[in-house]
Amino acid sequence: MAISDVLLSTGRMPTGNAALGFARAGIPVFPCIAGGKRPLTRAGFHDASCDADQLVAWWTRWPNANLGVPTGSASGIDVVDVDVAGETSGFTAFGRAARAGLVDGELARVRTPSGGLHVYYPTSPSRPQRCWQAAAAHIDFRGTGGYVLVPPSIVANGDGAAGYRLFAVSSSDARPIDAESLRDFIDPRPVREPMSSATGSAPDPARLAGWVGRLQQGERNHGLFWAACRLAEAGYASSDVEAALAPAAAGIGLPAWEIATTIRSAVRQAKGDPPRPVHDIWSSTPTRRCPGGESPCLP
């Protein structure tokens, strides 16, 4: 049974019953404090279990406990956590990533008590991905080494208490997310520009390709986007931009689908074309046009 089916069937149960539902689907769970996120067992998510007797013992002892699920290899589930903190949130960054095709393949979406979102993805058994935080973008990734609370857990906040609730189940084919590429995109490290951009001269495709080929992890997607913008602004067609930059981008480890998506996005925005529509709650998220001049930009 997929996580989406479990969420559909357990969302309105008491947490003890829901725990057994997750366990029957092969998804280990563990108890957290009622109204909060702290694990109740000594080893926390490392204690997560599918053993029915153990779960009954836990929820007999703590009948109002919240329900935690380890992320990553332990459960086969990775989660992108879109956070909301006061007037700021991660929805803008997530919307940009959605338009760039970096967050496709989800299993389900769960609303969190803060008004944020947990977006669930299947893990890649051959490539475990560790947790990370992109504080400036208000997005966290929960992979191997982390955990999330799942419905029907309830967390106390300043306005009382609110629950985790299923928001949407995907009808499309699910696939693992490339968490490293997502982080590169939403929280890139500063990128040093090639010297020719400061002089105002026409960009040299070979020079830009050589520069892309020297980018390091954390700046690869951002740098490729910037270089593609420069060539598109100089009048190069999308196919010419891809021919010039794709081999260099592949050489530094970017996958072919990400290279194509990044270059198409850069060419569209450099030419002032409107973004592709996104038929979800981020469809109204504004985009930034790639400016000329000296600063790299994001889509």
- pLDDT tens figures, 188-242: 765 555 544 444 567 888 889 988 888 876 678 888 988 998 898 888 988 999 9
Single pTM value for the model: 0.67
- Count CB neighbours of 256 within 10 A: 10
**Contact, 150 vs 22, CB < 8 A?**
yes
Please indicate, yes or no, whether residues 164 and 192 belong to a single structural domain of this protein.
no
Q: State the Cα–Cα distance between residues 18 and 236, nearest whole angstrom.
A: 56
Higher pLDDT, 79 or 251: 79
Assigned token pair, 75: 């459960």
79 belongs to a structural domain = yes
Per-residue pLDDT of 8-21, as tens digits, reads 998 889 999 999 99
Residue 219: its H or E element: none
- The dihedral through the CA atoms of 123, 124, 130, 132 has a sign that is negative
Question: Which CA distances in Å does 208 have to 6, 228, 245, 248, 249?
Answer: 49, 9, 8, 9, 11
Instruction: Tell which of 151, 168, 185 closes a domain.
Output: 185
Please indicate, yes or no, whether residues 78 and 205 belong to a single structural domain of this protein.
no
* Mean pLDDT of the chain, nearest integer: 85
Please indicate, yes or no, whether residues 125 and 156 belong to a single structural domain of this protein.
yes
Domain count across the chain:
2
H-type helices in the chain, by residue range?
A: 3-10, 15-24, 52-61, 91-99, 179-186, 196-199, 205-212, 220-233, 238-251, 256-270
Degrees to nearest 5, angle at CA 192 with 98 and 196: 110
Please indicate, yes or no, whether residues 125 and 258 belong to a single structural domain of this protein.
no
Please indicate, yes or no, whether residues 181 and 192 belong to a single structural domain of this protein.
no
Instruction: Tell which of 169, 185, 201 closes a domain.
Output: 185
Please indicate, yes or no, whether residues 137 and 157 belong to a single structural domain of this protein.
yes
Per-residue pLDDT of 64-81, as tens digits, reads 999 999 999 999 999 999
Confidence category of residue 243, pLDDT binned at 50, 70, 90: very high
Please indicate, yes or no, whether residues 63 and 196 belong to a single structural domain of this protein.
no
Please indicate, yes or no, whether residues 143 and 192 belong to a single structural domain of this protein.
no
Backbone angles phi, psi at 229, to 5 degrees: -60, -45
Q: State the Cα–Cα distance between residues 166 and 176, nearest whole angstrom.
A: 20
**Contact, 192 vs 209, CB < 8 A?**
no
Angle between helix 91-99 and 179-186 (nearest 10): 120
Domain housing 169: 3-185
Please indicate, yes or no, whether residues 124 and 225 belong to a single structural domain of this protein.
no
Please indicate, yes or no, whether residues 97 and 231 belong to a single structural domain of this protein.
no
Instruction: Tell which of 166, 185, 204 closes a domain.
Output: 185
Higher pLDDT, 115 or 279: 115
Degrees to nearest 5, angle at CA 1 with 35 and 129: 70
Please indicate, yes or no, whether residues 114 and 245 belong to a single structural domain of this protein.
no
Q: How confident is the model at residue 286, as a pLDDT? A: 34
- Please report, for the chain, how many H helices and E strands are present, in that order: 10, 13
DSSP structure string for 60-79: HHSTT-EEEEE-BTTTTEEE
The CATH code of the domain that includes 131 is: 3.30.2250
Question: Which CA distances in Å does 23 have to 2, 48, 76?
Answer: 12, 10, 13
102 belongs to a structural domain = yes
Please indicate, yes or no, whether residues 136 and 114 belong to a single structural domain of this protein.
yes
